[in-house]
Structure 1
Amino acid sequence: MVTRVQIGQSALEVAPLALGANVFGWTADRDASFDVLDGFTQGGGDFIDTADGYSAWVPGNTGGESETVIGEWLQARGTRDGVTIATKVSTHPEFSGLAAANVRAAADASLQRLRTDRIDLYYAHFDDADTPLEETVAAFSELVDAGKVRAIGVSNYTAERVTEWFEIARAGGYHLPVALQPHYNLLERDFETNGLRDVAAAEGLTVFPYFGLAKGFLAGKYRDPASAEQAGASPRAGQAIGYLDDRGRSVLAVLDGIAEREGVEVASVSLAWLRQQPTIGGPISSARTTEQLSALLASMRLELSGEDLSALSAAAA
C-alpha cells in the first residue's frame, strides 16, 4: 500500500515519488516519453516534475522540450486532473532569472507548453541574486492569486534565503512556499547539516530531493570504472562513476544485501531510504525507458527497517 503525501499546507496530495521529466526531449524521445508516462501513471505514480529549461543544453533544443512532451501527453490521454504537475522558472534561455515580469511571462509560456490552465506546484528553480527577493516573492504569490499556480516551491536555495523568503511573505501577506527541492541522496548528505532540513521542519515544507540515485550510481549501474560500455551508457555515467571509491563500494555492499533479502532492485532500496528520511515527501527520479520504471515504482511500497536505515546511513557516513 502506498501512503500518500500532502505537500505542505496545500491542497495537493501525491504518491511519494516524483517522476523526473528532465530526460523527455533529451535522452527519451516523444514516443519513449509517452510510454514512460503511461507506465508511471498505470503503476500508481501521479506526480511529474519538470522545468521550463529542460532541455536547453541539448544541441538543437531551445528549452521547454520536456514541458511540450508532457503537454502533448496530457492532451492525448485526457489525464490532467489525475496528475500533479510541478515545473520551475529561471533557466529557460528566453526567461532567465526571477524578475517579476520574467516570472509572469515564463509561467504563461509553461502553461501554453503544458496545455493546461494551472501549474500545480511552481518552483523558483535557482536563486537570482540580481533581483530583490521581495520582487520574486510577490510575483509568485500573484500567480497563485491569479489561479495560474496552485502552490509555491523553492529549489536550490540556501537555508538563509529560504528563511528570508518566509519572512518577506509573512510581512507582505503573500502565499507561503509549501515545498523544497534540494540535492540530496544517500551519498550527498549536505541537506542534513546545511540548515535546509531544519528550515523544512520548522516551516512545514515537504521536501522532494533531486538526483535521488546519485546520477545512477545508487541504482547499482556503475561498478567498474574501467568499463568503456558503462562509461558510455548515459550522459551522466562519467559523473556517477566518480562515486566509485571505498565509501561508494561500502554503500553498494549494504544496498546489495538489503535488495537481495527483500527481492527488489538496488534502486528501490536507495529511493526507499531517501523517502523515509525526516521531512522528505518523496524522491525525484527519472526513467528513459519503461524497463527502468519498475524499480522506481517499487520504492514507494518498500518499507526499510530502522536497522536497515541505520546500516545504510553508517555505510555512507
Structure 2
Amino acid sequence: MENVKIGTSDLQVAPINLGGNVFGWTLDEKQSFDILDAFVAGGFNFIDTADTYAWWVNGTGGQSETIIGNWLKNRGNRDRVVIATKVGSETKEHSFDISKKHILKSVDESLQRLQTDHIDLYYTHYDDNKTPVEETLSAYDEVIKAGKVRYIAASNVSPARLEESFGLAEKEGLPRYMALQPHYNLVERGGYETDYAPLAEKYGLTVFPYWALAAGFLTGKYRSEADLGKSVRGGGVKKYLNENGLAVLDALDNVAAKHQSTPATVSLAWLLAQSHIGAPIVSATSKQQLETIFAAPTLKLDSEDLEALDKASKS
C-alpha cells in the first residue's frame, strides 16, 4: 500500500481517509476509540473531521474533535497521524462564515478540542460567497505563519471562487489550496467530473471525495424502501432507489463476485482508480466495516470492471 502525497505539501497519507462524522453521533467515545485504534493498527493515518461535527445532535457540534483530541492525548500518537478539520460550516449559531474573524476564532477552538498545537490540513468547509477571497486567504496566511495550521484545502467552494483563490494566491503570495474534498461517488459523478476535475488537473489538487459510499447506498445494504430503516442514515439514500441506482448496485454485485469482494470495497477501488483521487473519505461503526474499507487499496480493478461500472453509473 503506497502513501499519497497531498498536493505539493510534505504530507503523506495512506489511501483511505477515516471520516469522523460518526464520533459523538452513532458512536460514543469508547466505541470511537476502538475504531480509531483499529484504523491506525491497519496501517492508515489520515483522519477527517470538522468543527461542527456532530451539530445535528446538540445544535453546536464539537463532539468529533473532542473525541479525537482525547484519543490523541490518551494514545500519545499525534506525530503518527494526519489530522484534517474544517471551518465555515453551518450550525444553529451561525450560517456559513469564512471571514477572518471567524477563522481566527474557530482555529483556536478546534486546536483546544483536538488538544494539539497544529492542524495538518484545514479546509474551507463551506463558502459564504460574500467574504472577499483575499480576506479568507490572509486569515489562513496568519494561522499558518503562527504554526497553527500546516496546509489548507477546500470543500464546498464554487469553481469560480476556487479559480479566484488560486489567482490571488499566486499574485499576492498567499497560501494556496493543496486538496479538494468534493461530493463524488458512483451515483454522484456529474458535479465533480464536469466542474471540479479540470481544476484538480490544472492546479495539481489531491482529491478526497466525501460520501464516497453515498451514505451507505453503495454497500448494497439498501435495495428497497423496506431497507431504509436499517440505520439512522437510511433516509438519505431513498433518492438512489431508482433504475439508475439499482443498475449501479447490479454492476457492483457482478464485479464484487468476480473478485470475491464486496460492493463497498469495489466502490472505493473504483474511486481510487480515478485521476487525482488520493483517499476516499469513509466512516465506519464496526471493525467489520473497517476490514471492508481496508481491502479497497489492494483491489485492482481491470479494464473490464471499470468499463462495466462506468457504463452502469452513467446510465
Q: TM-score normalized by structure 2?
A: 0.96
**2:219 match:** 219
Q: Name the counterpart of 1:199.
A: 199
Question: Cα RMSD over matched residues?
Answer: 1.3
Percent sequence identity over aligned pairs: 50
* 8 A Cα contact 1:159 1:194, kept in partner: no
Q: Distance in 1 between matches of 2:62 and 2:133?
A: 25
| Greater mean alpha carbon deviation, residues 283-292 or residues 268-277 | 283-292
Letter in 2 for 1:103: I
Cα 1:79–1:298 change in 2 (3 A) is same
The 5 A counterparts of 1:47-196 are 47-58=46-57, 60=58, 62-91=60-89, 93=91, 97-196=97-196
Q: In 1, distance between residues paired with 2:165 and 2:246? A: 40
Gaps of 5+ in 1: none
SS of the residue corresponding to residue 252 of structure 2 reads: helix
Contact preservation (8 Å) 1:24, 1:30: yes
State the distance in 1 between where 2:232 and 2:179 align: 29
Name the aligned partner's letter for residue 104 of structure 1.
L
- Spell out, residue by residue over 1:158-193, the C-alpha distance to the aligned partner (whole angstroms, 9 max, x if none): 211111110111111112110000100011012444
Residue 244 of structure 1 and its aligned partner are, at CA, apart by 1.6
The residue that corresponds to 2:310 in the other structure is 313
Secondary structure at 1:183's aligned position in 2? coil
Letter in 1 for 2:72: L
Equivalence for 1:36 = 35
User: Aligned equivalents of 2:15 and 2:191: distance in 1?
Assistant: 19
2:151 counterpart letter in structure 1: A
C-alpha displacement of 1:231: 1.9
In structure 1, what residue type is equivalent to 2:278? G
Residue 27 of structure 1: how far off its partner (Å): 0.8
Letter in 2 for 1:3: E
Q: Does 1:232 align with 2:229?
A: yes
Matched, 1:19 2:18: yes
User: What's the CA shift for 1:126?
Assistant: 0.4
Q: Deviations over 1:229-250 (max 9, x none)?
A: x322222212213212111111
Shift of the alpha carbon at 1:92?
6.0
Asked if 2 retains the 8 angstrom alpha-carbon contact of 1:52 and 1:92, the reply is: no
Q: How much does 1:263 deviate?
A: 1.6
Amino acid in the other structure paired with 2:87: V
Contact 1:44 1:297 in 2 (8 A): no
> CA 1:114–1:218 in structure 2 vs 1: closer, same or farther (change >3 Å)?
same
Q: Secondary structure at the match of 1:179?
A: strand
Is the 8 Å Cα contact of residues 166 and 177 (structure 1) preserved in structure 2? yes
Task: Please state how far the C-alpha of 1:71 moved relative to its aligned partner.
Answer: 0.4
Moved more, 168-177 or 209-218: 168-177
Deviation at 1:309, TM superposition (A): 1.1
C-alpha contact 2:13 2:82 (8 A) present in aligned 1? yes
Give the Cα separation in 2 of the matches to 1:191 and 1:36: 31
After superposition, what is the alpha-carbon deviation per residue over 1:64-120, rounded to whole angstroms, capped at 9, x for unaligned? 100000000111111111110000001264575111011011001100100101100
Kindly indicate whether the alpha-carbon contact (under 8 Å) linking 2:154 and 2:177 is maintained by their aligned counterparts in 1: yes
Structure showing the higher helix proportion among its residues: 2
Distance in structure 1 (CA, Å) of the matches to 2:168 and 2:52: 27
Aligned residue pairs: how many? 312
Superposition TM-score, scaled by structure 1 size: 0.95
Unaligned runs of 5+ in 2: none
Write the distance in 1 (CA, Å) between the matches of 2:228 and 2:125. 29
Q: Residue 263 of structure 1 aligns to which amino acid in structure 2?
A: Q
Q: How far apart, CA to CA, are the structure 1 residues paired with 2:304 and 2:74?
A: 45
Secondary structure of the corresponding residue to residue 154 of structure 2 = strand
CA distance in 2, matches of 1:69, 1:277: 33
- In structure 1, what is the Cα distance between the partners aligned to 2:32 and 2:297? 21
Give 1:129 deviation, angstroms.
1.8
Code of the aligned partner of 2:311: A
Query: Residues 17 and 280 of structure 2 are in contact (CA less than 8 Å); yes or no, is this contact kept in structure 1?
Result: yes
Displacement of 1:45 in angstroms is: 1.4
Query: SS state of the match for residue 130, structure 1?
Result: coil
In the alignment, the residues of structure 2 paired with residue 197 and residue 275 of structure 1 have an alpha-carbon distance, to the nearest angstrom, of: 14
